[in-house]
Amino acid sequence: MNRHTTITADTAAFGPIPIGLGPPAPASIAIVTDAWHPQTNGVVRTLSTTCDVLRSWGHEVTVISPEAYPSIPAPTYPEIRLALTAPGAVGRQLAKIAPVAVHIATEGPLGLAARRYCLSRKVPFTTAYHTQFPDYLARRTGLSASAFWPYIRWFHRPAQRIMVATETIRAQLREQGLTQLTHWSRGVDLSCFYPAAPPPPEYAGMPGPILLYVGRIAVEKNIEGFLACPYPGTKVVVGDGPARAALEARFPEARFLGKKSGVELAGCYAGADVFVFPSRTDTFGLVMIEALACGTPVAAFPVAGPLDIVTDTVGALSEDLARAIDAARYCDRKACAEYGARYSWEAATGQFLAGLVALREEQAVSLQAMPAF
């Protein structure tokens, strides 16, 4: 399977108007998301970087996020804020913006409000499937993932296009009857993530090999599967989250370095022998391509995300994580860096623009003129 083949969107019933790629034809774009700063995760980084590139191309991007509303912490995930909006608040903001395109990035309260508003006015919109939501909730509730798929199908079915990052996720959503799919990959900031990034001072004196995890420290990331892996060396965890204290107490031999960003994070990647990605609930895994861009091979389970990114040249996949780590250690680091450098945020943002559905003139007028509720 060609892991970088563009997924063609199924034809929308009303005949979407293409917005085009790159700098030409600046447009007003509304992105509605329940995941935004100060959260630190792949979804926020993807959306934030995409907005930066779009704006550098001259597009006017408005993000409707929880920071504009009162909010409460999400159950079991307090770092995520659930927006408390007055009836019609999101609709009024969309009407004021009068965007050329509406993209709903998440399935939370703001996404629901935007979805309701657009459907009531027959305004086309796109969505994205960023998180293995059913698996994520299953890990946190103890219920079967199948219990949550009806909501996912219901939420995304009216979208004119659903943006997905990988072929594996595309196949999974097709099995659920969601077929209006288009490809939106991810990128790496190559000015920051490169093989010569200096390793952090904490690495000095660590017994090798250095095995690295980067990301949120939470139950759905399966970090326990990494830390319990019987492979010699030093296991390093970069990031923070609600499970950190418990994991530090249970695995005192592991090194927890807290949050890192920019050149410090790049150095953590570049100085490690293997990057270990133990998650089974991610749709992509942005940290994997950052590690590869720094020349560090990846070991992971053979699940969505790693299956679409990791080849035998740049890492290893196995249900036996120790076996995957051992195999990844012998990958050529130059080949890893070259492979990671193929992921460009400019190319990914071009895919995002191509996937957007522009509003026809009469629909844009409807978005402005009709009262919000």
Domain segments of the chain: what residues? 28-187+346-369, 201-343
User: What's the whole-number mean pLDDT along residues 280-287?
Assistant: 94
The whole-angstrom separation of Cα 305 and Cα 286 is 9
Decide if pLDDT at 363 tops 70. no
Kindly tell me the burial class for residue 206, based on how many C-beta atoms sit within 10 Å of its own C-beta (0-12, 13-18, 19 or more).
middle
How much of the chain exceeds pLDDT 70, in percent? Answer: 89
Decide if pLDDT at 311 tops 60. yes
Domain spanning 28-187+346-369: CATH 3.40.50.2000: yes
Q: Which CATH class is domain 201-343?
A: alpha beta
CB atoms within 10 A of CB 327: 17
Q: Predicted confidence band at 138 (pLDDT cuts at 50, 70, 90)?
A: confident
Q: What is the pLDDT of residue 364?
A: 60
User: What's the whole-number mean pLDDT along residues 157-184?
Assistant: 97
Q: What is the pLDDT of residue 361?
A: 58
User: Is there a shared CATH topology between the 28-187+346-369 domain and the 201-343 domain?
Assistant: yes
Q: What is the pLDDT of residue 160?
A: 96
pLDDT: which is higher, 190 or 74: 190
Decide if pLDDT at 295 tops 70. yes
pTM of this prediction? 0.87
Contacts of range 364-369, beta carbons closer than 8 Å, 24 or more positions apart: 364/98, 364/100, 366/121, 366/122, 366/123, 367/94, 367/95, 367/98, 367/99, 367/121, 367/123, 368/95, 368/98
User: What's the whole-number mean pLDDT along residues 334-339?
Assistant: 98
- What's the chain's average pLDDT? 89
Q: Predicted confidence band at 371 (pLDDT cuts at 50, 70, 90)?
A: very low
